[in-house]
Copies of this chain bind each other. A is one copy, B any other.
Amino acid sequence: MLHAVIMAGGAGTRFWPASRRSRPKQFLSLTDGTPLLRATFDRVAPLTSPNGLWIVTARDTAEATRRLLPELPPGHVLAEPVGRDTAACAGYAATVVLHIDPDAVCVVLPADHVIPDQEAVRDALSAGAAHVAEHGGLLTFGIRPTRPETGYGYLKLGRLHGTRRGHKIHVLDRFVEKPDLATARTYAAGSDYLWNSGMFAWRASDLLDEIARQLPLLAAGLDRIAAGLGSPGADALLATVYPNLPRTSVDYGIMESARSAWTVPVDFQWSDVGAWPALAEVLPPDEDGNVRRGRVLALDSAGNVMIGDGPAIVVAGVEDLVIVATPDAVLVIPQDQAQRVKEIVSHLAAAGWDDLL
């Protein structure tokens, strides 16, 4: 059976002040009024039955997740005691899924990306899942670059293995860290490099086999968790074991050295909306290049991202700023420094302004 696992472990820092600890990015409606997690859920729900839908999230946001997705069966919100990166997250989900379905095939995807064309992504996920169901191995989806983006990691395509439902299936050559601009330009001009979408497909058993082979400490922890599943002490066991799981990513911790790794090139519109300026990718700017949401009045101002989550925003004569206004906090920062929002949040914590976190 196909299972869809949504990784919803965001910490709520990069979109401060809209995002908070108790309302991380996946609960925000960055584009059309639908929280990103809700949109992601609706995107994959048609692929399987309700019993095949899973969310992995932080303990603090588990209850809010259940409220947002009331149709999810009880027990299908998996609460991580602490975040330990994607290898632990995916391994934990595979462990739980395998416990009830020995033949489980999983598609695994982040909760907080924006993909307008839902049919296209479902079509690709289905093709990838069908491929790994037949051939095994770990599969990742790569987005064909539309610009020389330096903010994303890339996948290098290996040889073409074949096609499945119209999708080309390649061997994955390797993962590539975020490139400089010159390198990104060659990637965008060619066809061998794809944006790393963070979406995967595998048989749950294949993922756990690779973890056992490459990450024995993670495998041992997951084995302990598996042994407790369904018992009264499962939660306490999870709380004991999980914080000690090794912290690594699926990409570099597992797939990079997997015995069999695939990638499927896709070309639907996709954005991971990694920081405020990325909103320009998913919200159409006005004629002055201003991205606006909420009540905004802009005179002689261009290239700004202005998000009024409550208060109106009124500007004149400003350029290339990010301005976000919520009822209790306002952020103003140049677009080219918007990566500093995470640092800003740590300053707020240091200042003891816990009510704003």
Contacts and interface: CB of A to CB of B under 8 A. Distances in A.
A64 interface: no
Contact of A332 (B318, B328, B340): B318
Contacts of A340: 299, 316-317
A337 B316 contact: yes
Nearest to A341: B316
Interface stretch (A89-97, A168-176, A210-218, A307-315): A307-315
B314 A344 contact: yes
Contact of A333 (B312, B316, B337, B343): B316
Nearest to A340: B316
Number of copies: 2
A295 interface: yes
A297 interface: yes
A21 B308 CA distance: 23
B353 A331 contact: no
Interface string A287-313: 000000001010100000000101111
A327 to B, nearest CB: 6
A5 interface: no
A1 interface: no
A318 B321 contact: yes
Interface string A316-357: 111001010111111111100100100110011001010010
A110 interface: no
Contact of A317 (B327, B334, B353): B334
Nearest to A332: B315
Given A318-B333, A334-B317, A328 B312 contact: yes
Interface string A111-150: 0000000000000000000000000000000000000000
A221 interface: no
A265 interface: no
A-B interface, 3 closest residue pairs, ranked by CB to CB distance from nearest: A325-B330, A317-B337, A312-B329
